[in-house]
Chains A and B, each alone.
Chain A
Amino acid sequence: MSLYTFPFDSAEKPEHDRLGGKCTSLAIMTGAGMPVPPGFAVTTESYDAVVNDPKLQAHIKEILAGLDPDNVADLDHRSAQIRELILTQPVPEEVYAEVHTAYAKLMELCGGEVPVAVRSSATAEDLPDASFAGQQDTYLWIIGEQHVLQKIRECWASLYTARAITYRLANNIADEGLSIAVAVQKMVNSRSSGVAMTIDPANGDRTKIVIDSSWGLGEMVVSGEVTPDNFVLDKIMMSVVNRIISDKHEELVPTGHGSIARQEVEEPRRSSSSLSEDEIMAVAKLAKAAEKHYGTVQDVEWAIDADLPEGQNVLLLQSRPETVWSQKKVETKIASAGSGIEAITKSMLASMNRS
């Protein structure tokens, strides 16, 4: 068991106190068969090992002594001072070694050095709210270990932004026991992506999973700028019952530095299936897992990551409840209601008329 890091696909039980809200949820989703982009948490123990150093704590206390929260310039100044201390505080060797190993393992899985996102993962009401945390402490497209380590420190230091400090003062939250975890997560490099619904949106049939898929990022599928491939699977048997391979003329691809390029798709790729047989099944499984996890029909955004090995490359980006059909009661139209000979005869004749 690692103390200072926690991979999202760890077999261990994710503990909120150690991982914070964001990382706990990422680990729970991965464990429930909804693999999010791979990564790891830098646990609150790491923060504690670095920031709870008594000398540093004494120093922080000293800086905050006699603070007037209404004096904005002074507050900003003190906040910057503390954050600078956290950013330069020496990191114990064992913490560094574990983060180094976790990062190296992640890069190995991705087949080389790829960009990651570094985000803070708060444990409690230490920060005003989740969205605040999200806005402040999300660093995207970070490349290289030194940069990643730097961003992890920035996430730690974010507990002492001017706003965080005044929030704690206003709500009477003590600085003692303050801690934070950090998520380091692969940036998705979409080779193919799209949406999957755990219902047939054409007729409300709840025994189907319907997948729309195209090359590159999913935006063009969602906006309707490209006609995606369409796969219909039977949810119970998990087999493809219908497929339409479309002419997918354009794609959006990430350039690796946060920007997106729009490009034409050449033959034969444009008229080839954007998912392999195994990938179709993996996307369907992911959608089914999401439906099971949330207990209701789901509308899932997913991607196939070009950097990840086969079998681990299908990623869940977002899952939300489907709202159209799950609200209304599905009326299945049947030629022969009831059973017995009358119904049998009726449906036999109906089937003749259909053919």
Chain B
Amino acid sequence: MAPKAAKSFPSPYSMKTPKGAEGWQELYPYYLTFQDNLKKQEEAKFWFCDSQHWPNVFKPFEVIGVEFASRCLGAYNTRHYIIPPANGIDFRIHMGYNYFSPVGVAPELIGDRVPHFMERAGHYFQNWTELLENWRKDVLSNIAEIDAINFTALPDMVPIEDIKGGKGMDPSVQLFDDYDRLISLCYKNWERHFEFLNLGYVAYLDLFMFCKEAFPGIPDLAIAKMVMGVDSVLFRPDDELKTLADLAVKLGLTDLFTGDDAAKVLGAVEGHSNGAQWLAAFEKAQDPWFNYTVGNGFYGTDVYWRDNLDLPVGYISDYVARAAKGERLHRPKDELIAERDRITEGYADALDGEAKETFMGKLGLARVVYPYVEDHNFYIEHWTMGVFWRKVRQLGQLLADQGFWANADDILYLSRDEVRPAMFDYANAWAVGTEPIGPTYWPTEVARRTKIINALATQRPAPAFNEPPAEIVEPFTVMLWGITTDQVQQWLGADSGLKNGLKGMAASGGVVEGKARVITSPDQLGELIQGEILVAPVTAPSWGPVFGKISATVTDIGGMMSHAAIVCREYGLPAVTGTGKASTTIKTGMLLRVDGTNGTVEILSK
């Protein structure tokens, strides 16, 4: 690529605050905003917006996700495994959106880190299976512990058993303890999230680099397909719905699946002679597979199937209608495996001797570690966070009942460190026998904060800040976020070379022509019509049932390992990710040609 004139993104300090959002900085911790006295240091770093994980403006409580995730990611690179060239990824919140800046290691320090890395990471690679089993046990036990937490209003009197048992403590102690444990257990599972993920990427990248060397110019897609897991638990919830749909057709219940009114559909099924069998299967599938969200687990308002059965029932109804027409619902696993084997053999056959052995060795390790990269998402983002947010809302409802605010979700307008004082206010007044102050303070404050958040949400995030490095090589950044040198140049307005189109990552192969449907929020998913091309700023893996309906996906953000990319490969759909601006350039109804093999999207007609 020809060197471009030095172009730069704006400084975060030069951005104009949207009207009505003044004072937004106070909603977030001081260490997460760009401080005026650090302008020089902060402007020297390149920051890119992670709208892939955080597409919407944070409410104060929701900062918990980015804080726990980012610091745990960092700790595993920097403190656990001492990854020689990479520390963590620094993060800031600016005008409600999250910005990342990878932190490298000074070249002279890299050498000293090597033996530590080899000992630590080596131990994990050698004992991967046992350690992962240990991981699973602990993660599930943490989830069970969160699930057992139950926030209830303080009783009028301390229970008589506590008096007689000489407990010497009132139930508020348990209330505080539960809140602290809720936060701590969530934190623990985020620690676990990165225990294997970083190493999964390291092994994958090792194979990746080898392939790039042995087969110069090999498409990233080819490497991703070599390690593709076909039985990831991430796809299990959607598979469960398909199985339920097939069963409904088999049991002659087709006509009862009339849409997404769960009460109506389930009532009708219950009244059918074969209904009990289906309902038992439906019940069984829910735990744990309905701990699944159409969001991404980072927002307190993400709706989980388990909490709103209209969602899974609606998807099942769609599937039933298709299954009744004789359509095969389940993913073509055999074809996916055959394709994976064809690709692997194709490259292996081009090598001889030591090179071939190396390739097979690296591929072997990547295949052992790679399933985690896909699977963890269900355990943490879906299951843990689903249970976590349910408990947060339960506490929100408890305090709403006490007049602190109107709705359970209003608790999200407090930071997690403001919730405890509010609880103390409540428990204090309860103890003293007076009225809490919160109900006279929080409703106004929540309203004020709501206005600020809404004002921030009127503005889309700037893609990046400050001067980008000449070349972006940090592999995690490229893999996960699709932030490449080309991508950055495109954001800066460099010509994509396409007259009527966009360039992005060739994330999942194939060419498809079809009508665009631009989706900017999960609420709009219902608008999708069979065969349309999904165009979105970012997709969540849990849009699963939707992937059975569409013919291709185009996103603004996301790399080869982004969720949209992984899901599309599993569903055999073409995908172009990381286009930067598809969701704003393309309008619903436009005729598109999506080439997922070459990473291009062409607008054929308006």
- Which residues of A are at the interface with B, using a C-beta cutoff of 8 A? 200, 203, 205-208, 232, 234-242, 329-345, 347-352, 355
Contact = CB atoms under 8 A, between A and B. Distances in A.
A341 B210 contact: no
B219 interface: yes
Interface of B: 83-85, 110, 114, 117-118, 121-122, 125-126, 202-203, 205-206, 209-210, 213-219, 221-222, 342-343, 346-347, 349-355, 357-358, 361-362, 364-365, 471, 473, 475, 506, 509, 597-598
A240 B511 CA distance: 13
B564 to A, nearest CB: 19
B85 A352 contact: yes
Given A206-B350, A237-B509, A345-B117, A338 B85 contact: no
Contacts of A331: 355
Given A332-B355, A341-B118, A235 B346 contact: yes
A242 B218 CA distance: 10
Contacts of A333: 213
B interface majority secondary structure = helix
B237 to A, nearest CB: 30
B213 A349 contact: no
B202 A236 contact: no
A238 B471 contact: no
Given A332-B214, A345-B114, A239 B358 contact: no
B193 to A, nearest CB: 22
Given A239-B597, A342-B118, A348-B202, A334 B219 contact: no
Given A237-B509, A337-B354, A351 B209 contact: yes
B122 A341 contact: yes
A237 B358 contact: no
A57 to B, nearest CB: 56
Give 8 nearest A-B pairs by CB, closest first.
Answer: A339-B361, A236-B346, A341-B122, A241-B217, A206-B350, A355-B473, A332-B355, A239-B597
B367 to A, nearest CB: 12
A337 B475 CA distance: 20
Contacts of A352: 84-85, 110
A332 to B, nearest CB: 4
A241 B84 contact: no
A336 B210 contact: yes
A205 B215 contact: yes
A156 to B, nearest CB: 48
A239 B343 CA distance: 13
A342 B361 CA distance: 12
Contacts of A208: 215, 217
B168 to A, nearest CB: 54
B218 A207 contact: yes
Given A238-B597, A348-B85, A339 B362 contact: yes
Contacts of B352: 329-330
A333 B214 CA distance: 7
Given A205-B214, A234-B215, A241-B218, 12 more contacts: A206-B350, A207-B218, A236-B346, A238-B597, A241-B217, A330-B352, A341-B125, A348-B83, A349-B85, A349-B110, A349-B114, A352-B84
A207 B355 CA distance: 14
Contacts of A237: 218-219, 221-222, 343, 509, 597
A177 B557 CA distance: 73
A275 B72 CA distance: 50
